[in-house]
Every structure is written in C-alpha cells, then in structure tokens.
Copies of this chain bind each other. A is one copy, B any other.
C-alpha cells in the first residue's frame, strides 16, 4: 500500500488502444492497493503538429501563446486516460497543471517547476481512493495566471515533481527501453541492464548522451530523493506482479546501492566538434576573451583543455562544442581574433567523446590510467582528456568510437557473462 507515480510518454499513449494498455498498467497497481498518480505526455505526433502550427502562424511567436497551444496536447491525453480508467471501474480524474496547481517560473517554453500542491491528491487518495491523471509538461505561472511548458522531456520532470509533492515511494517512468544499460547495446552487444544506478551517475549518463531520461528530472529526483524506476511500457500489464520483483533500473541514492562498482557505465557522444586555438598569448583574461563571445553567441562549450605553456609566452587552447554549433563557434572566434590575438584556428568535426562513469572512482586511484593504456593498445589516439570526481572523458577520432566503447566496457568488467 504505497503511493506511486507512473509516467507514460507519447508513444505509450499514441492512440486509444495504447491508452487502454496504459490504463491496464494503472489498474494493476490500483488493484494491488496502491495510491496512484499518473503523469502523461501528449499523444505521439500531436505536439509536433501543434508546434508546426505555431511556426506557420508566425516565425517569431510569443512563447506564452506557444505554451497555451502546445499544452493542449497533454490536456487531451489526461482526459482520455481518465475516461478509459473510469470505463474500467477505476475512480479517476484528470488534472491540468493550473488545476493542481503546478507552479513554475515564467520562462515560457522551458519553465522550471517551483512547487506542486499535492495536498488535494493525498486527500482524495485517503477519502475516495481516487487515482489522479495529471497532464505532464505543463504548469502555471502564479502571478500571470498563464500556462507554461517545461520544454523537452518535461513530463519526466512533472512526474518526479509530483512524486516529491505526494511523498511517493517510487516514480515509475515507463519508456521504450527496459532500463538503463551500462552502455548503448547497439554499440556494445555485451552491455547489460543495471539494476540500480546512483543519481549522480545517471546525471552524467544522461547529460553525456544516454537519452533515457531528461537531465532536469534526475536533478529534481536527487534533490528530493525521489526513487525513479525506469521500466518498459511494452511489457504486458498482465505479466507484471506489482508485489514481486520486476524488470528495470532504479535510480536512487548511492546509499541504497550496496555493491557499488568502480565503473557503472560508458557514455559517448558522436556529435562533437573540436576547435583548437593555436599560440594564444599566455596571459590573464585570454580565456575570457575566447569564451565570453562564445557564450554570447549561445555556443554550448563542453570540454576545455588548456596546457601549461611550454615557453611561458603562448599556449594552445582546445575546446569542444556540439557539431551543430561548430560553424557558429568558428565564426565567433574568427571575429574576436583581434581581441584574443591567436595565431591559427584548427578544427575537426569527426571527433567523439567517450566517458567512463562511476561513483566508485572517488575511492579508487588509477581508473583513468587503465583506460589510457587500453586505448593505446588499440592504437586509438586521445586528443584531449577531462576528468571530474566521478567520471573522465576522452576525445578521440569518431571512427574509433565503437571500438573504444567496447574496449572500455570490457576493461571495467561491465560485459554480461
């Protein structure tokens, strides 16, 4: 008899037949005695249609109006799922962001959840055993009384925020994969599903290219200690025993992970580009002269590597950006040449970043050194290296990405037996 949040994405609710399947998942948990809040996305394709209409209406559109239009998608799904549940004999009602309410800031299109009122949901759990069906992705700005949306992946964030508000034992994220893997199984066939992963590790996995969940939802889970269970929406509802063990990955506090491995997973990103600024004067303020203009141009800089200058006068500075930002970054740096005073600009778009992640690294020395040796044995050249407390990343030629991932996966004992 726990409180549960269940979240279903757009492909899981793409048509009435699939909504019915979702309802059976919900009914299973309700029948097991749980108090359930369901969070749903828009039916697959609906949001894209709404976005396209906004774009056609005016190329530069008011984000507040955009939000009013786009939020309608989740509103529809919430109502339809409530209807379906009631048709199955489950007491249910839909909630839109403004009804609950889910308060956000006023950054329309990418709003942040400020607070969620869970009191009414809890009252209805207790007094009438009513299941809540909540429109994800949306909220309301208190002062303006206008609808906001949370941006891409926002329904995950809605789900975790609701889970925090009602003190849910678990936030189940139903998705098209059956959990979080040690790395992408399409690249490393020996990748295996993790039973548990710590919030910090998942944050690194998510922001480094493992697209299971949105980064902000994991941050929120970490802050409020909401246990997030990533599981498959393709399992038949009837095949799951809600009281027994089930298949998926639990994202949780590291304290809950008894057998912590040194390395938990390997993430990678092929959409990287590298820019090297050669012979930059080695004096204070030069980094600001480079990265200030890039920030103004909205270029997302990731790795930054600056070596100690060999002669004390000039140095080379290398950084990476998403491949889509490459041209803009080059132009920005070329325009700032006078202010920076460099000699030459080198660049490459055929590079990839491979990252090794594990909370265990904090207490184990030499983890990165093993990787450098293993990659050298494979004749994979490392262009740049960055490290943090629980991960390190290497920049290599994109052509070697898969080989590097498999090598490291084996090296750290992640291969399934």
**Cβ B82 vs Cβ A62 within 8 A:** yes
Which residues of A116-174 are within 8 A (CB) of B?
145-146
Contacts of A1-39 to chain B: CB distance below 8 A: 16, 19-20
Q: Chain B residues with Cβ under 8 A from A16's Cβ?
A: 53, 56-57
| Segment of A63-71, A203-211, A361-369 in the binding face | A63-71
Given contacts A58-B83, A64-B93, 14 further A-B contacts (CB under 8 A): A16-B56, A16-B57, A57-B80, A57-B87, A60-B87, A62-B93, A65-B79, A65-B86, A66-B79, A68-B82, A68-B94, A68-B96, A69-B75, A98-B98
Centre residue among A50, A68, A99 by max chain B CB count within 10 A = A68
A58 → chain B, closest Cβ, in Å?
3
Binding site for B on A (CB under 8 A): 16, 19-20, 50, 53-54, 56-62, 64-66, 68-69, 72-73, 75-76, 78-84, 86-87, 93-94, 96, 98-99, 145-146
Return 5 A-B CB contacts under 8 Å, by A number.
A50-B76, A53-B76, A58-B86, A65-B80, A68-B94
Minimum CB–CB distance for A30 against chain B, Å: 16
| Chain B residue nearest to A52 in the complex (CB) | B16
Instruction: Determine which of B54, B80, B83, B86 lies in contact with A80 in the assembled complex, contact meaning CB atoms within 8 Å.
Output: B54
Contact flag A87-B61 (CB < 8 Å), given A53-B16, A99-B145, A146-B99 = yes
**Cα A260 to Cα B20 with chains together (Å):** 60
Give every chain B residue within 8 A of A50 (Cβ-Cβ). Answer: 76
Q: How distant is the Cα of A132 from the Cα of B81 in the complex, in angstroms?
A: 32
Checking B53, B66, B76, B86 against A62 with a beta-carbon cut-off of 8 angstroms, the contacting residue is: B86
Contact B83 A57, beta carbon cutoff 8 Å: yes
If A16-B57, A50-B76 touch, whether A83 touches B98 (CB-CB below 8 Å) is: no
- Chain B residue at minimum C-beta to C-beta distance from A133: B65
> Is A69 a contact partner of B65 (Cβ separation < 8 A)?
no
Query: How far apart sit A93 and B69, CA to CA, in the bound complex (Å)?
Result: 12
> Which residues on the B side are within 8 Å of A60 (C-beta)?
87
Tell me which of B53, B61, B99 contacts A86 (CB under 8 A). B61
Contact B93 A80 (CB under 8 A): no
**Closest residue on chain B to residue A71 by CB atoms:** B75
Partner of A75, one of B68, B80, B146: B68
Is A87 a contact partner of B58 (Cβ separation < 8 A)? yes
* Nearest CB of chain B from residue A18's CB, rounded to whole Å: 11
**Which residues in B have their C-beta under 8 angstroms from that of A78?**
68
Complex: how many Å from CA A17 to CA B54?
12
CA distance A60 to B83 in the complex (A): 9
With the chains together, A145 CA to B58 CA distance in Å? Answer: 33
Q: Say how far A33's CB is from chain B's closest CB, in angstroms.
A: 24
> Given the complex, which residues of B lie within 8 Å of A80, measured CB to CB?
53-54, 57, 65, 69
Note all chain B residues with C-beta closer than 8 A to A62: 82-83, 86, 93
Residues of chain B with a CB closer than 8 A to A75's CB: 68-69, 72, 75
CB distance from A24 to the nearest CB of B (A): 13
Cα-based distance from A20 to B57 in the complex (angstroms): 7
Choose one: B65, B72, B76; the contact of A83 (CB below 8 Å): B65
- Contact indicator B57/A19 (Cβ below 8 Å): yes
Known: A96-B68, A99-B145. A61 touches B83 (CB 8 A): yes
Chain B residues, Cβ within 8 Å of A84: 57-58
Closest to A64 in B: B93
